[in-house]
């Protein structure tokens, strides 16, 4: 299993490096804002800067996890394009091992993103002089499970669909649906703002999901487990059919 996971790591490492660079970039930006706030002329605009810092970390950890999901996609696409799967079928590597390695890699990537996000959150909340709230961890953890389900889904789709374009279309469809469901409410909120009021993205998202707030975390966890098990079973069945 170690070699197969290592192979996925090599294929995805550029994408991963981009994700970490993205995190690092926003971390530096957030720090500059914080330094400006403490030392510079912006010290008077505390409210605006607090909001800005919070929005920056939100912008940072979500794309971080999203990049991880994208890199899962890259590894499965590469396998198809270069004939790696066909090569594996000519060896004694079975379907279970192929899918198992792929899913373990997904979990390892997502967990790394999750740990980094949590560390960022801790550092920035402590730097702000506040204490981390349980709700923040709950959101990130829920986000972790949701993206994990998403990456399992990508693995499954890439195994089922013979054409890369089909998977792309489905992914774009899902992303568009999510955006379309959030955008109208966000636009309404922005139109209702007055003067130099600002939107706190975290508060906004919390408000939007307030109905499902209480069961967001357990729901996301259950979804990840169900998705993981069903994708594994289904992928193994599909791979057994091979080129028939």
Partner 1 sequence: MDFQNTVEIKNLTKKYDGFTLDNISFNVPKGSIMGFIGQNGAGKTTTIKLMLNLLRKDSGTIKIFGMDNEENEMEIKYRISAVFDELPFHEMINANQLSLILSDVFDEWDKRTFNDYLDRFSLPRKKRFGEFSKGMKMKLQIAAALSHGARLLVMDEATTGLDPVVRNEILDIFLEYLQDENNSILLSSHITTDLERIADTVTFIDKGKILLSQGKDETVENHGLIKCRKNEYKDIDKSDIISARLTDFGAEVMVSDRKKAAEKYSGLTIDHTTLEEIMLFYVRREKGEWK
Which of 1-9, 22-30, 171-179, 225-233 is the region at the interface with partner 1 (rule: CB under 8 A)? 1-9
User: How many angstroms separate the CA atoms of 144 and 118, rounded?
Assistant: 11
Least distance in angstroms from the C-beta of 1 to partner 1: 7
Q: Minimal CA–CA distance to 220: which of 132, 96, 114? A: 114
Q: Which of residues 80-99 bind partner 1 (CB under 8 A)?
A: 82-84, 86-94
Q: Does 233 bind partner 1 (CB under 8 A)?
A: no
User: How many angstroms separate the CA atoms of 166 and 10, rounded?
Assistant: 25
User: How many angstroms separate the CA atoms of 109 and 130, rounded?
Assistant: 29
Q: Is residue 68 a contact partner of residue 109, using CB atoms and an 8 Å limit?
A: yes
Q: Which is nearer to partner 1, 63 or 94 (CB)?
A: 94
Least distance in angstroms from the C-beta of 6 to partner 1: 6
Q: Which is nearer to partner 1, 3 or 129 (CB)?
A: 3
Which of 45-53, 76-84, 103-111, 122-130 is the region at the interface with partner 1 (rule: CB under 8 A)? 76-84
Which of 7-15, 22-30, 46-54, 206-214 is the region at the interface with partner 1 (rule: CB under 8 A)? 7-15
Q: Which of residues 93-132 bind partner 1 (CB under 8 A)?
A: 93-94
User: How many angstroms separate the CA atoms of 171 and 166, rounded?
Assistant: 9
Q: Is residue 3 a contact partner of residue 99, using CB atoms and an 8 Å limit?
A: no
Q: Is residue 198 a contact partner of residue 48, using CB atoms and an 8 Å limit?
A: yes
Q: Applying CB under 8 A, which of residues 45, 78, 112, 141 lies at the interface with partner 1? A: 78
Say how many C-beta atoms besides its own lie within 10 A of residue 7's C-beta.
16
Q: Does 18 bind partner 1 (CB under 8 A)?
A: no
Least distance in angstroms from the C-beta of 153 to partner 1: 23
Q: Which two structure tokens, joined as six digits, stand for 128?
A: 């702000």
46-82 vs 164-191: helix crossing angle, rounded to 10: 170
Q: Does 6 bind partner 1 (CB under 8 A)?
A: yes
Interface residues toward partner 1, by CB under 8 A: 1-4, 6-7, 10-11, 14, 78-79, 82-84, 86-94, 242-244
């Amino acid at each position: 299993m170690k070699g197969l996971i290592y192979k996925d790591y090599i294929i995805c490492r550029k994408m991963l490096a981009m994700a970490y660079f993205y995190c690092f970039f926003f971390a530096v930006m957030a720090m500059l804002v914080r330094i400006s706030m403490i030392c510079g002329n912006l010290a008077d605009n505390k409210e605006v800067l607090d909001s800005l810092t919070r929005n920056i970390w939100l912008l940072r950890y979500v794309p971080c996890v999203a990049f991880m999901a994208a890199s899962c996609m890259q590894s499965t696409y590469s396998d198809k394009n270069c004939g790696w799967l066909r090569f594996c079928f000519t060896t004694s590597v079975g379907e279970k091992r192929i899918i198992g390695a792929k899913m373990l890699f997904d979990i390892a990537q997502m967990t790394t993103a999750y740990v980094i996000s949590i560390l960022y959150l801790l550092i920035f909340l402590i730097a702000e002089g506040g204490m981390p709230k349980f709700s923040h961890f709950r959101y990130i953890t829920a986000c972790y499970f949701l993206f994990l389900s998403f990456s399992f889904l990508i693995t499954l789709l890439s195994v089922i669909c013979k054409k890369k374009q089909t998977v792309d279309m489905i992914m774009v469809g899902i992303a568009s649906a999510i955006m379309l469901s959030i955008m109208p409410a966000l636009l309404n909120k922005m139109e209702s703002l007055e003067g130099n009021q600002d939107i706190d993205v975290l508060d906004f998202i919390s408000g939007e999901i307030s109905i499902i707030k209480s069961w967001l975390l357990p729901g996301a966890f259950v979804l990840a487990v169900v998705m993981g098990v069903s994708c594994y079973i289904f992928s193994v069945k599909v791979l057994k059919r091979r080129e028939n």
